[in-house]
Amino acid sequence: MDRRLVVLYGSQTGTAKDVAERVARDARRRRFRVLVSAMDDYDRTRLIDEAPVIFVCATMGDGEEPDNMKAFWKFLLRKSWPRDILSNLEYTVFALGDSSYDKFNYPGKKLHKRLQQLDARPFYPKGEGDDQHYLGIDGTLDPWLDGLWQVLLQRFPLPPDQEIISDQELLPPKYRLVPYQGKSTAPPTRSAAPGTIAARVQCNTRMTTAIHFQDVRHVVFSIDEGVRHRPGDIVRLMPSNNAENVDALLSLMGWMAQADDLVLVENTDPDSPVPADIPQPTTLRALLTHHLSPWSRPRRYLFELLSHFATDEQQRDKLVEFCTAAGQDELYSYCHRPKRHCVEVIQDFFAVRNVPATYCFDLFPEMVARDYSLASYAEGKLELCIALVEYKTKLAAPRRGIASEWIRTLGKGDAVPLRVVPGTMTLPDDVNVPIICVGPGTGVAPMKSLIEARIQQGATANLLVFGCRSKAHDFLFEAEWQKHVDAGHLDLWTAFSRDQPAKVYVQHVLLQHGPQVFDWIHYRGAHVYVCGSSNQMPTDVRNALTLIVQNGAGLTHEQAVEYVAGMKKARRYHEETWS
């Protein structure tokens, strides 16, 4: 019997990839051979006659597929496929999403439906992970995996002479670091992904006043003369870790002596190739600086791995407990609620010794690129508006965002490789159609590119609804907006939430101007754009617009909800939000 499984993932920020790798490790412990791959890297022609496939599928944008499954998804959607083309395929799906979004787990649900349409058979029910679960994705993943392995071991029993490899046994590392014998002069960094452009920092200045709680940066990059990107595009930046922090980590792990030795990264399993963006040869220091993210939230596997190297029994027991179902609440209190990062965990478990550096890929998550909305429509430059993430938990040290820390240090003239990718928002073709841009905080960034493009097209029916805490401290791009207002190119409505006793937000301002908003939406076919924090704001704005439509058109609440949903379907209502 061929005991082979295939795990295919679609992942934007790495969580679904981590889940896929966890499934693969569990499978190897159960003596399956297993191929793990991003859906787009997989040879899709093999799907017709494939071993059982476990799809792990995250959700991005407004219910969209992650980038590394888009081609696969398009392939599955081909109309020309015979109705029963996948009749030999058995599969299951684990979807990852966040139930605070409207389109909860859409790609996973759609994938499941499409596979069934093509006659593939689910061998195990679909699972749905939810970021809102207090234990995160693991809250639903753990029980789903328990059931999955029961089903698979019934279908594919262990060979008579073999047992499940116990959790007490250390699995081989994902990749091996092999000493490099040749000569190399260039300092290893990161191999550029296709489409990377060379940009230089023109300025990196604080936009908010020094006493404002948040440091928001105006970052401008110069790019090739004459190159202009589309309004609504996204700039994708790959951060690096701070050199001093990397030094401290190398010392903590006892890896300093080998930090700068040239090594080749080789795979230990023929079915798990080394990512193409790792330069060969490289060094451990370069990997920890550019490729891995030790200052991120740990995966559960970190605790399992550390338990193998703990020299103190109590610490080992605690680490093992964190990997059990019973230990999840405690793991949450210790690690996830206060947002400890991997390095802090390793510092806490000081009795962990001699972890071989070759396990670095298993210990730490991969660094993932961060997206920023393009805030300009101009040739030869890219403007961004970036809120540096910093907040407190019960831990003494403030929590700081990985990219935020890196952006803070960028200085004039620094070379930054970046990519520009299409966003989800597009302008109406007709310049007479009004646009209503609702962009509180840094949500105003993409609005700036949209509005600048509209003004260049000669459109004047442009409305910006901007919100922030106070006019004096965080009114982003105030001078630019005023210039457009004075020129008659822009209507500007503002909500300064803390400038008066009662809190005022963008949705309140929309409601105050209900009849005009209704007129633009209903009679002039306005397009609406909502950007910024994914917390409560998008829902509040949608509710306000629903009420405006309800009152304006004399509809019931249900009809008004349908009306706004219809705008979304017709691509007249765009939401681009982030946490």
Ligand X SMILES: Cc1cc2nc3c(=O)[nH]c(=O)nc-3n(C[C@H](O)[C@H](O)[C@H](O)COP(=O)(O)O)c2cc1C
Ligand Y SMILES: Cc1cc2nc3c(=O)[nH]c(=O)nc-3n(C[C@H](O)[C@H](O)[C@H](O)COP(=O)(O)OP(=O)(O)OC[C@H]3O[C@@H](n4cnc5c(N)ncnc54)[C@H](O)[C@@H]3O)c2cc1C
Q: Which residues bind ligand Y (CB under 6 A)?
A: 234, 370-373, 385-387, 389, 391, 401-404, 442, 445, 576, 578-579
Only one of the segments 82-90, 91-99, 504-512, 521-529 lies at the binding site for ligand X (rule: CB under 6 A); that segment is 91-99
Q: Which of ligand X, ligand Y, none binds 31 (CB below 5-8 Å, type-dependent)?
A: none
Considering beta carbons, is residue 264 or 389 the nearer one to ligand Y? 389
Only one of the segments 52-60, 214-222, 480-488, 565-573 lies at the binding site for ligand X (rule: CB under 6 A); that segment is 52-60
Considering beta carbons, is residue 363 or 549 the nearer one to ligand Y? 363
102 belongs to an annotated ligand binding site: yes
Only one of the segments 59-67, 285-293, 394-402, 411-419 lies at the binding site for ligand X (rule: CB under 6 A); that segment is 59-67
Q: How far is the CB of 179 from ligand Y (least distance, A)?
A: 33
Q: Which of ligand Y, ligand X, none binds 101 (CB below 5-8 Å, type-dependent)?
A: ligand X
Question: For residues 229 and 382, is the Cβ–Cβ distance under 8 A?
Answer: yes
Q: Which of ligand X, ligand Y, none binds 445 (CB below 5-8 Å, type-dependent)?
A: ligand Y
Binder among 47, 53, 60, 545 for ligand X (CB under 6 A): 60
Q: What is the DSSP string of 91-125?
A: EEEEEEE-TTSSSTTHHHHHHHHHHHHTT-EESS-
Q: How far is the CB of 189 from ligand X (least distance, A)?
A: 24
Q: State the number of CA atoms in the 13 A half-sphere of 65 facing the CB.
A: 21
Tell how strand 462-468 and strand 381-387 pair up. Answer: unpaired
Question: For residues 20 and 41, is the Cβ–Cβ distance under 8 A?
Answer: no
539 belongs to an annotated ligand binding site: no
| Interaction of residue 310 with ligand X, rule CB under 6 A | no
61 belongs to an annotated ligand binding site: yes
> In the numeric block, which tokens belong to residue 228?
């202009």
| Interaction of residue 127 with ligand X, rule CB under 6 A | no
Q: How far is the CB of 66 from ligand Y (least distance, A)?
A: 11
What's the one-letter identity of residue 365?
A: P
| Interaction of residue 8 with ligand X, rule CB under 6 A | no
Q: Which of ligand Y, ligand X, none binds 131 (CB below 5-8 Å, type-dependent)?
A: ligand X
332 belongs to an annotated ligand binding site: no
Q: Which of ligand Y, ligand X, none binds 442 (CB below 5-8 Å, type-dependent)?
A: ligand Y
60 belongs to an annotated ligand binding site: yes
Considering beta carbons, is residue 231 or 552 the nearer one to ligand Y? 231
- Nearest Cα residue to 238 out of 284, 189, 276, 274: 189
Strand partners, 462: 435
Q: Which of ligand Y, ligand X, none binds 385 (CB below 5-8 Å, type-dependent)?
A: ligand Y
Q: What is the DSSP string of 402-428?
A: HHHHHHHT--TT-EEEEEEE--S----
- Nearest Cα residue to 321 out of 342, 340, 349: 349
What's the one-letter identity of residue 142?
A: D
| Interaction of residue 131 with ligand X, rule CB under 6 A | yes
- Nearest Cα residue to 544 out of 527, 561, 529: 561
Q: Which of ligand Y, ligand X, none binds 234 (CB below 5-8 Å, type-dependent)?
A: ligand Y
Helix (H, G, I), strand (E, B) or coil at 51: coil
| Interaction of residue 59 with ligand X, rule CB under 6 A | yes
Which residues, other chains included, contact 168 with Cβ-Cβ below 8 Å and sequence gap of 6+? none
> In the numeric block, which tokens belong to residue 483?
């210039």
Which residues, other chains included, contact 461 with Cβ-Cβ below 8 Å and sequence gap of 6+? 432, 433, 434, 435, 520, 524, 526
Which residues, other chains included, contact 514 with Cβ-Cβ below 8 Å and sequence gap of 6+? 547, 548, 551, 552
The Cβ of residue 325 has, within 10 Å, a number of other Cβ atoms equal to 10
Q: Which of ligand X, ligand Y, none binds 386 (CB below 5-8 Å, type-dependent)?
A: ligand Y
Binder among 7, 15, 286, 459 for ligand X (CB under 6 A): 15
Q: State the number of CA atoms in the 13 A half-sphere of 409 facing the CB.
A: 13
Shortest Cβ contact with ligand X: which residue?
A: 97
Distance CA 222, CA 433 (A): 32
Q: Which of ligand X, ligand Y, none binds 107 (CB below 5-8 Å, type-dependent)?
A: none
97 belongs to an annotated ligand binding site: yes
| Interaction of residue 375 with ligand X, rule CB under 6 A | no
Question: For residues 524 and 434, is the Cβ–Cβ distance under 8 A?
Answer: yes
Considering beta carbons, is residue 25 or 574 the nearer one to ligand Y? 574
Strand partners, 206: 217
| Interaction of residue 62 with ligand X, rule CB under 6 A | yes
In Å, how far are 59, 506, 555 from 510, measured between CA atoms? 29, 6, 18
Question: For residues 216 and 206, is the Cβ–Cβ distance under 8 A?
Answer: yes
- Numbered residues of the known binding site for FAD: 370-373, 578
- Numbered residues of the known binding site: 11-16, 58-61, 96-105, 131, 370-373, 442, 497-498, 503-507, 540, 578
- Numbered residues of the known binding site for FMN: 11-16, 58-61, 96-105, 131
Interface residues with ligand X (CB under 6 A) are 11-17, 58-63, 66, 96-98, 101, 103-105, 131, 137, 578-579
- Numbered residues of the known binding site for NADP(+): 442, 497-498, 503-507, 540
